Amino acid sequence: MLFQLTGHLLPWDVHAVRTAVVESGIAQGAPLIGPLQANLIRGGASVGPQTLGIWFPAHVVALTILAIVISVVVARRLKGQGLKKRILWNFFYILLLTTFFALTKRPQAGPVATSADFGNYNAAPEWYIMAMHELLGFANNINPSLGFVATMVIPGLIFALVLFAPWIDRSTPEKPSKYGIALSLILLIGLVGLTIAGMRGGDYANPIGPNTYTDSAPAKGGPVAKLDPALIAQGQKLFANSGCLNCHSLNGKGGNAGPKLDGEATRHQDLSWQIAHLNNPKSETPSSTMPAFSYLGADSLKAIAEYLETLK
């Protein structure tokens, strides 16, 4: 998982840059340590060229060393349980084959990233990480503050159960246990179920694009919706009472799970887009993990949308 998270950012194209923004945003959503770990993986307060300088050595050097150490430790444990040398040699061949493909496979880059992509959260996850993003969507629908449970706590527990399996499973040739079979079935059912649920909604993208930057602002000289001062005032109150600042920040206040709303009106000058996005975020941004606010009703959504259009 760590090789995937670091490796698919190395082309540093549109999709890679946007993914770095999304993943650092997810990291920032963790309580207490969120801002610290987000700044560490970004190399600062925001994603930029310095971010690649962190991910590249992490992928090529740090994770390679970690993989070798884990492999040696697990192999020694398996050998201590009486595993035949032939199986250990097969284990070595798998590592050798993986290393060969890692050194010879060159990823195909997508469109070149622009400055707009360094603040863009519109990056749909690839199929092989769909399960975690679908789990994140479930957690956010319950409460946006629980996002870290889906992205860190649950994957961390699964990783621990797999990594420490040789120590947890105390089976012997005389007394075999069902630990491995049970854990495999649970993981398989969970991963397949969450992946199908995510793919059914079309919430994934080809790793090499196309993910070119688009802005929903009307064409130059096009009509701009006339805003109603009364609706703006109503929308501001609804915005404050609907928990929007639990995830988004405005004027330096609020959460960090979602993009900042400062300058929102300059990014999306289309009132209908704002309403549709509030009603069903995935309809406008397929990778969005923001919960739908359709329950507020059409009038309330229009009021909030008009308020958002004042955030220049």
CATH code where residue 57 lies: 1.20.810.10
C-alpha closest to that of 209 among 114, 281, 120, 124: 124
Tell whether 71 is covered by a domain: yes
172 shares its domain with 76: yes
Q: What is the CATH number of the domain that holds 257?
A: 1.10.760.10
Q: Are both 103 and 172 inside the same structural domain?
A: yes
Which amino acid is it at 121? Answer: Y
Shared-domain flag, residues 192 and 234: no
With vertex at residue 248, the alpha carbon angle to CA 202 and CA 138, rounded to the nearest 5 degrees, is 40
Phi, psi (degrees; rounded to nearest 5) at 140 = -65, -30
**Could you say which DSSP state residue 249 is in?**
E
Tens place of pLDDT per residue across the chain (312 aa)? 788 778 888 888 888 888 888 888 778 878 888 888 888 888 888 888 889 999 999 998 999 899 888 878 877 777 666 666 666 777 778 878 878 887 887 767 778 887 777 777 667 777 777 888 888 878 877 877 777 888 889 988 988 888 888 788 877 777 777 888 888 899 899 888 888 887 776 544 443 333 233 333 343 344 455 677 778 888 888 998 888 888 888 888 888 778 888 888 877 767 888 888 898 888 877 777 888 888 888 888 888 988 888 887
**Number of residues assigned to the chain:** 312
CB of 130 within 8 A of CB of 198? yes
H or E, element range at 130 = helix 130-142
Give residue 242's domain range.
229-308
- Displacement of CA 204 from its chain's centroid (Å): 11
**Phi/psi at 148 (nearest 5 deg)?**
-65, -25
Within-domain flag for 205: no
In a domain, 217, yes or no: no
Q: Decide: 34 and 256 in contact? Cβ < 8 Å.
A: yes
Q: Is the pTM of this model over 0.85?
A: no
Residues 25 and 84 in one domain: yes
Q: How many domains does the chain have?
A: 2
Same domain, 72 and 177: yes
What gap in Å lies between CA 29 and CA 247, rounded to an integer?
Answer: 8
> Which 3 state secondary structure label does DSSP give 218?
coil
Q: Which is nearest to 179 in space by CA: 161, 197, 202?
A: 161
- Closest residue by Cα to residue 304 from 244, 255, 232, 241: 232
Question: Which of the 8 DSSP states describes residue 81?
Answer: T
| Tokens read off for 246 | 């639990």
| 143 and 186 part of one domain | yes
pLDDT of amino acid 185? 92
Please count the helices (runs of H) and the strands (runs of E) in the chain.
16, 2
Q: Name the nearest CA neighbour of 47 among 11, 86, 8, 16.
A: 16
